Amino acid sequence: MVRQFSKFPKKPATWVGPSAPLTQRKQVFLPDFTIALIRTPFLPPRYASFYVPLNFNKLDMRDYLQRLYGVNVLSVRSYVEQQKVTRLRPKDKYGYGKLRRPVSKKKMTVEMKQPFVWPDLPDMEKFEREQYFKAAKYQTDLQDQQRPDAGMKAKKDEREAFSEDAKKLLDGSKPWRPTWQALGLSYDRSGLGKSSTSA
């Protein structure tokens, strides 16, 4: 006897179909937007700033904080930040493309009934914070070196090194020597009647 398996799993006994009345179905409402809380140490403790969608209004913000977090809001201020004009660079092409303005951002500042203080920043040393910024700077410098106009820009590190050497030579803290002596080379020119190795 061959056992036959069904392609569709059996539904649980408590399963309710989509055509059932709303009173019998479990209602789950998930937001389709994103709100970001901004760290603002310069504001008083009873104020907080958020980045919200452009179609978000003050009543939505007050209702969102009250129903989801139980935060009583006294007042809400909002304004739209217009972004700077940038250029759209085509992929794998040099030069610059068309002018464009990124989508604006909407910021809301709410006054709360109870104060809220941001927690202190954790110790970032164990997360290798300095190493992260050094790696990011190295990547930026490497990309700048591969740009078409990289040869037209002066090398800042070499310029600073030359400036430090010139200051030491002028102060007398570093004696001047010809390059061949600094490299330890010996050019004996006995045919000219003198030796270059003599001081």
Question: How does pLDDT run across 76-134, given as a tens digit for each residue?
Answer: 999 999 999 887 776 666 656 788 899 999 999 999 999 988 888 788 778 888 899 99
Is pTM, for the whole model, over 0.95?
Answer: no
Domain membership of residue 81 (yes or no) is yes
- Number of compact structural domains in the chain: 2
- What pLDDT is stored for residue 2 in this prediction? 58
Instruction: Clarify whether residues 162 and 101 are in a common domain.
Output: no
Domain final residue, candidates 112, 142, 162: 112
Per-residue model confidence as pLDDT tens digits over 42-60: 899 999 999 999 999 999 9
Average pLDDT of the residues of the chain: 83
pLDDT at 4 over 90: no
Q: Which domain holds residue 129?
A: 124-177
Residue with tokens 């009583």: 72
- What pLDDT is stored for residue 123 in this prediction? 81
Domain membership of residue 9 (yes or no) is no
- What pLDDT is stored for residue 189 in this prediction? 63
Domain membership of residue 103 (yes or no) is yes
Domain membership of residue 45 (yes or no) is yes
